[in-house]
């Protein structure tokens, strides 16, 4: 009976995955293709789908099947699968369907309106919707916290990074804040003595797209299982069998679209390489958003900004955008490692990026824990931007607190994943370099297989078989060690 019960649970979660498949493609279309007048109907449809998934997860019959399956003689793999099934099931049963529906509707409306409000620098218009997002996110956090014993913010953080605590984040980020400002200053001083040639000209979108597609192919993207499109905010969506990535283009600056594509291709390769035999089950999904971001940042930061990789793609840049001195390999490397504190997180250099993340973590935590209100965000944002990066954002909402899409639809608790991901990525590459001391030489001639093979063996194929800490220990021989991140930055920017 217990084995039969487990198979019945699998069948239910397979059905849920198919619902989620439709929802993910509808969400991609909403961001990339949907005409604006379709948003209200799309939001209602996605809310209805969310309620359907929630009802399926909270059906008492499923609870009985899970309990029966636990009594069975399950294999190690099945035990891991049931562990992840229970994690998702328990979370769903702590929240009412009415809240799921309300959050989906409010988030859909807020994120849709944000697309226009941001470009118009309309904080007051955005605030009207954002207050409701915050109210519902707090309601969700309180319900989860009451049952889990976590703080309200931690209860949201654990949706994206299971097992992570605020105490651990505070320890990690306090360490980063102790040495990052000095490292930024040293790097800028060093770079001030170096000659940098700026790229000149207008770069047509179709040429940037052609360059991006060729770089994606070099990075192993499967075009029969995914595609590249445009959205206001770059993202990777869809499902492992049909991965959708987006970027955004500026004709006066090719740099952001190309590296954005490299970043999203890292996400995509993870999704495309997850084990197909368990793709419909929670155990077959990405381990956490920190691990997911470690893949995009392995591609963007560890590989993409590596001088050897930039030398490899220099001919491609010239082929698509024209031959000019700025596109010589050595100059490209300087362009993509230039340290300059600025407004926009997704365009930030590798050194200042953690400051952007820490700032958002501190604000969203205070917001959910009730220490501040939505109205207080701009002033606190500007204060922290001044303190951490010396950048003035007063009155500049579109390049300040309105720049990211995450808060618009209630993805609060996600931001720490970016810097955790950068730390995991540095630790992976420290391990890969021990195995392949000639890694840079191999990258320079286009041999990226040592990287892809290691990631596939140790991360992609493992999906959620292991808890995060165990996954990282098995892959690298130790739990998360931020010292690898600092060493990487010092070697790249001060050596």
Query: Residues marked as binding for Zn(2+)?
Result: 263, 267, 293
| Other Cβ atoms within 10 Å of 313 Cβ, number | 22
Q: Which backbone phi and psi does 244 adopt, to 5 degrees?
A: -115, 120
Catalytic residue among 78, 84, 140, 264: 264
Please choose, from the candidates 483, 435, 485, the residue with its C-alpha nearest in 3D space to the C-alpha of residue 457.
435
Q: Is 43 exposed, middle or buried (0-12, 13-18, 19+ CB in 10 A)?
A: buried
- Could you count the other beta carbons within 10 Å of the beta carbon of residue 341? 17
- 75-108 burial, b at 16+ Cβ within 10 Å, e below that, comes to eeebebbbebbbeebebbebbebeebbbbbbbbb
**Residue 277 is among the residues annotated as catalytic for this protein:** no
Mutual angle of helices 449-458 and 416-435, in 10-degree steps: 120
Find out whether 420 and 248 touch, Cβ atoms under 8 Å: no
Residue 224's alpha-carbon distances to 207, 221, 272, in angstroms, are 22, 9, 11
Q: How far is CA 403 from the centre of its chain?
A: 15
Residue found by looking up tokens 């720490």 in the block: 416
Look at residues 233, 187, 180 and name the one whose alpha carbon lies nearest to residue 354. Answer: 180
Q: Which residues are catalytic?
A: 264
């Amino acid at each position: 009976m217990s084995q039969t019960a487990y198979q019945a649970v699998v069948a239910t979660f397979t059905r849920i995955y198919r619902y989620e498949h439709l929802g993910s493609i509808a969400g991609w279309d909403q961001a990339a293709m949907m005409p604006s007048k379709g948003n209200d109907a799309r939001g209602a449809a996605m809310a209805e789908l969310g309620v359907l998934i929630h009802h399926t997860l909270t059906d008492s019959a499923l609870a009985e099947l899970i309990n029966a399956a636990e009594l069975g003689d399950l294999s190690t793999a099945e035990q891991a699968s049931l562990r992840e099934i229970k994690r998702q099931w328990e979370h769903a049963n702590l929240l009412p369907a009415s809240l799921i529906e309300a959050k989906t509707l409010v988030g859909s409306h807020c994120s849709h309106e944000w697309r226009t409000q941001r470009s118009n620098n309309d904080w007051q218009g955005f605030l009207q919707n954002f207050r409701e997002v915050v109210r519902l996110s707090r309601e969700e956090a309180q319900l989860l916290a009451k049952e889990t014993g976590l703080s309200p913010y931690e209860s949201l953080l654990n949706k994206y990074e299971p097992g992570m605590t605020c105490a651990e984040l505070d320890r990690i980020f306090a360490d980063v804040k102790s040495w990052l400002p000095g490292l930024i200053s040293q790097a800028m001083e060093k770079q001030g003595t170096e000659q940098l040639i700026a790229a000149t000209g207008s770069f047509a979108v179709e040429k940037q797209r052609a360059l991006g597609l060729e770089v994606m192919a070099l990075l192993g993207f499967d075009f029969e299982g995914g595609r590249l499109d445009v959205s206001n905010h770059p993202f990777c969506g869809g499902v492992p069998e049909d991965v959708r990535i987006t970027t955004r283009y500026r004709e006066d600056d090719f740099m952001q679209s190309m590296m954005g594509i490299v970043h999203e291709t890292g996400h995509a390769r993870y999704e495309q390489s997850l084990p197909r035999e368990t793709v419909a089950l929670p155990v077959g999904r990405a381990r956490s958003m920190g691990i997911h971001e470690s893949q995009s940042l392995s591609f963007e930061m560890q590989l993409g900004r590596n001088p050897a990789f930039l030398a490899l793609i220099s001919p491609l840049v010239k082929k698509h955008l024209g031959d000019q001195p700025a596109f010589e390999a050595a100059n490209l490397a300087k362009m993509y490692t230039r340290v300059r504190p600025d407004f926009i997180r997704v365009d930030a250099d590798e050194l200042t990026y953690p400051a952007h993340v820490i700032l958002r973590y501190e604000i969203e935590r205070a917001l959910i824990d009730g220490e501040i209100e939505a109205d207080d965000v701009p002033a606190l944002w500007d204060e922290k931007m001044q303190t951490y990066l010396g950048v003035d954002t007063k009155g500049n909402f579109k390049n300040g607190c309105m720049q990211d899409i995450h808060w618009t639809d209630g993805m609060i608790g996600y931001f720490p994943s970016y810097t955790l991901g950068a730390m995991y990525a540095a630790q992976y590459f420290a391990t890969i370099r021990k195995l392949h001391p000639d890694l840079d030489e191999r990258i320079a001639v286009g041999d990226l297989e040592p990287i892809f093979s290691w990631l596939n063996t140790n991360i992609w194929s493992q999906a959620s078989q292991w808890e995060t800490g165990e996954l990282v220990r098995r892959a690298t021989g130790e739990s998360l060690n931020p010292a690898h991140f600092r060493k990487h930055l010092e070697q790249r920017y001060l050596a």
